[in-house]
Amino acid sequence: MNKDARGFVNGIVDYLRRDSATSGDVPKVRELFRKVTTDALHEKYAQVETSIALTEEEKKSLEGWLARLAGRHIQLVIRMNAKLLGGFRVTVGDWVVDTTLKYQLAKMTESLLI
């Protein structure tokens, strides 16, 4: 990849990172938590899509986070999807947390078209 392309990619990644962490509380994610349904909290499995295979440590962190959210253990069903580019998407019942670069790019495109 040439220098210009690398610069472009770095710019996009910076933008996406900055956008997802503009404030320390990650308001977009916090907003998603409010939408966690009762049904979702009673699910036994969480569908996780990632662009790269998760390490054991990452799996444990994600399971721990979900356990704290639901108040009990939820088993992860992990699936690889390279098209997501980066990040992960967690689906528990009808509740979804999408932190993928694919999703953020789509949101960015949508905001630019408004």
Partner 1 sequence: MDKLGIEPRLLLAQVVNFSIIVFVLTKLLYKPILAMLEKRRREIEEGLALTAKMREEEEKIAVKKQKVLDEARREGAGIIEESKKQGKEEEKEIVAAAHIEALAIVEKGHREVTYQREAMEKGIRKQAVSLGAHMAERLLASALSAQDKHALIQKQIKELGRVLK
Q: How many CB atoms lie within 10 A of CB 27?
A: 10
Contact status: 96 vs partner 1 (CB under 8 A): no
Distances (CA, A) of 108 to 53, 60, 72, 98: 26, 30, 35, 14
Candidates 41, 76, 96, 108; binder of partner 1 (CB under 8 A) is 108
Contact status: 41 vs partner 1 (CB under 8 A): no
Q: Specify whether the backbone of 93 is left (phi greater than 0), alpha (psi in -120 to 50) or beta.
A: left
Residue ranges in contact with partner 1 by CB under 8 A:
1, 5-6, 8-9, 12-13, 17, 20-21, 24-26, 29-30, 33, 50-52, 54-55, 58, 61-62, 64-65, 68-69, 82, 85-88, 97, 99, 101-102, 105-106, 108-109, 112-113
